[in-house]
Amino acid sequence: MSDEAPLDVVVIGAGFAGIYALHKLRSQGLAVRAYETGSDVGGTWYWNRYPGARCDVESLDYQFGFSDELQRGWNWSERFATQAEILDYLRYVADTLDLWRDIQFETRVQAAIFDEPSGRWRVTTDTGDRVNARFCISAVGCLAAAPVADFPGLDTYRGETYHTGRWPHQAVDFTGKCVGVVGTGSSGVQAIPLIAEQARELVVFQRSPNFSVPAVNRPLVADWVDAYKERFAEERARAKTTDFGNAAWTTVPHSALEASVDEREAEYESRWREGGAGFMIAYADLMANKQANDTAADFIRRKIRETVKDPETAELLTPRDHPIGAKRICVDTDYFETFNRDNVRLVDVRSAPIERITETGLRTVAGEFELDCLVFATGFDAMTGPLNAMDIRGRGGVPLKERWAEGPGAYLGLAVCGFPNLFLITGPGSPSVLSNMVVSIEQHVEFIADCIAAMGASGCATFEATQAAQDAWVEHVNHEADLTLFPQGNSWYVGANIPGKPRVFMPYTGGVRAYREKCEEVVAGGYAGFQLTPAPADKAAIN
């Protein structure tokens, strides 16, 4: 435990973002400490250890690109890595870069308060630490707050409950049990087939059906991986010039509507067989033109009908309330096939909503279900949730939560006016969750590190987004989103899953390349849109 130990930088979180920020800033000679609530590195990959949890970005793309040594020293075993393998990878990174000594685990940051007279952040934790730092960097991730919906009667339930985003570390055995799963987003879609294999009976409570494509996961062939390692730098450089930061994805560079029906069918079929979320960028306008989008949506609707034997169940599983991709497309292994099993039942809680959790199960308007275990795959208070969970206060003691009461405003998704020297890695208004997170995290960390170095060189004390630049960026983010079909889904992208959350489209839809170019333009313009305040001599002395 420490009391007011001075640091240069406090990093909050030790997932991909936190560990790279720690490494990068420490290698610039700064005194950095990362605080992490979990007992290990990993962030979202530490918490989401439900059966079937794996990444939907290909493993060779979903790794750090800043160090050739790191990529050469690690061998991914499958096309889409499991949660466990990603965690092992992050431990390997922490070992290789000697990061452990500067990460304080099992410590939750409770408050980060900007002290105007000293120009420093005062950070307090639930373990009693009180430190002050010149910079505070949030690396809390976009999908870290996993609240269980406030179902009436939940506290009376006598069975076991689990949330996919807070899965226990010891194995959970569903053998012989009757299990209920609430939620059919990416987490539910991955967990359901594996729970169905174990459970005596599985009841899936579905409010909205989702589009899902097969992962077509497979072991990676060693020779192919070796060849990839040789061209890794090229692949990563290319990923940075794409919209989504994925080297593996390609797009037919014209409208879906310019292709003939047969050509489209062949394109979608080949992507379906190849597997993965790259299906969503088959044509250039799938997220921009509803008619084009319908062609892809209809293809998947047909696949559902062809796969699911019971026509009523197939119809219930068929999404019709949003354009495909407006809610993040799911990537599965045998999801729709699972509903052909005798021990699996689909219950529509859209037409007959959940009334309450009872002592022995769950009651909907239509009936009662006896359940030994309940799994909530109900998602996250995304992007703003983990930030709002802390008491973050900027100039004048204004809480970030209050500033964001009407929706999150951040310049480039990185910095907030009124909160000097606070940086958000993959914050709202950046490509973040619409991109390969690792590529976006690296770009943010490097932007922040360059900025801190430039401040040091120019003797600046504080770095802060101007209100005008922030407003203009937020307007641009909204404008870009409105050019797409994304806002048409009642998704976590707009906060629709959290009652009372302001409906704002949070990630930046303009793409990784355009975003990077904008950041480069900002730097070339002498950090245009940021106000840099010179350090008085006495303040410089303590930094």
Residues near ligand NAP (CB under 6 A):
55-56, 143, 149, 164, 182-188, 190, 207-208, 328, 331, 349, 354, 377-380, 433, 492, 497
In angstroms, rounded to a whole number, what is the distance separating the alpha carbons of residues 135 and 6?
A: 11
Strand partners, 393: 113, 399
Minimum distance between the CB of residue 497 and ligand NAP, rounded to whole angstroms?
Answer: 5
Q: How far apart are CA 120 and CA 136, in angstroms?
A: 9
CB 175, min distance to ligand NAP, A: 24
Query: Residue 364 Cβ, how far from ligand NAP at the closest point, in Å?
Result: 10
User: Least separation, in Å, of the C-beta of 242 and ligand NAP?
Assistant: 18
Task: Provide, rounded to whole angstroms, the least separation between the CB of residue 356 and ligand NAP.
Answer: 12
Report which DSSP code applies to 145. Answer: -
Nearer to ligand NAP, 49 or 264 (CB): 49
CA-CA distance, 284 to 254, in Å (whole number)?
5
- Residue 335: which H helix or E strand, with range? helix 335-338
Name the minimum Å distance from CB 361 to ligand NAP: 15
d(CA 220, CA 227): 12
- Number of neighbouring beta carbons within 10 Å of residue 421: 25
What is the smallest separation between the CB atom of 170 and ligand NAP, expressed in angstroms?
Answer: 21
- Residue 176, both tokens: 């012989």
Conformation bin of residue 43: beta by default, left when phi > 0, alpha when psi is -120 to 50: left
With CB atoms as reference, the residue minimizing the distance to ligand NAP is 185
Nearer to ligand NAP, 1 or 366 (CB): 366
- What count of other Cβ atoms lies within 10 Å of the Cβ of residue 271? 20
9 vs 330, beta carbon nearer ligand NAP = 330
Sign of CA dihedral 17, 23, 26, 32: positive
Q: Which is nearer to ligand NAP, 327 or 393 (CB)?
A: 327
3 state SS of 115 = strand
DSSP 471-497: HHHHHHHHHHHHTSSGGGS-SGGGTTT
Nearer to ligand NAP, 349 or 452 (CB): 349
Read off the amino acid at residue 224: W
Q: Tell me whether residue 74 or residue 380 sits nearer to ligand NAP (CB atom).
A: 380
**Coil, helix or strand at residue 541:** helix
Provide, rounded to whole angstroms, the least separation between the CB of residue 461 and ligand NAP: 38
What CA–CA distance (Å, rounded) separates 233 from 356? Answer: 53
Nearer to ligand NAP, 138 or 497 (CB): 497
Instruction: State which residue, 378 or 440, has the beta carbon closest to ligand NAP.
Output: 378
Contact of 285 with 172, CB cutoff 8 Å: no
Dig out the tokens for 16 from the structure: 């991909």
Angle between helices 83-96 and 16-26 (to 10 degrees): 10
Nearer to ligand NAP, 59 or 443 (CB): 59
Alpha-carbon distance of 135 to 461, in angstroms, equals 10
- Name the minimum Å distance from CB 164 to ligand NAP: 6
Cα dihedral 185, 186, 187, 192 in deg (nearest 10): 80
> Is residue 386 classed exposed, middle or buried when 0-12, 13-18 and 19+ CB atoms within 10 A define those classes?
buried
Instruction: Identify which of residues 30 and 354 has a Cβ nearer to ligand NAP in the complex.
Output: 354
The CB-of-41 to ligand NAP minimum distance in angstroms stands at 18
Q: How far is the CB of 206 from ligand NAP (least distance, A)?
A: 7
DSSP 242: S
- Complex with ligand NAP: residue 119 or 323, whichever CB lies closer: 323
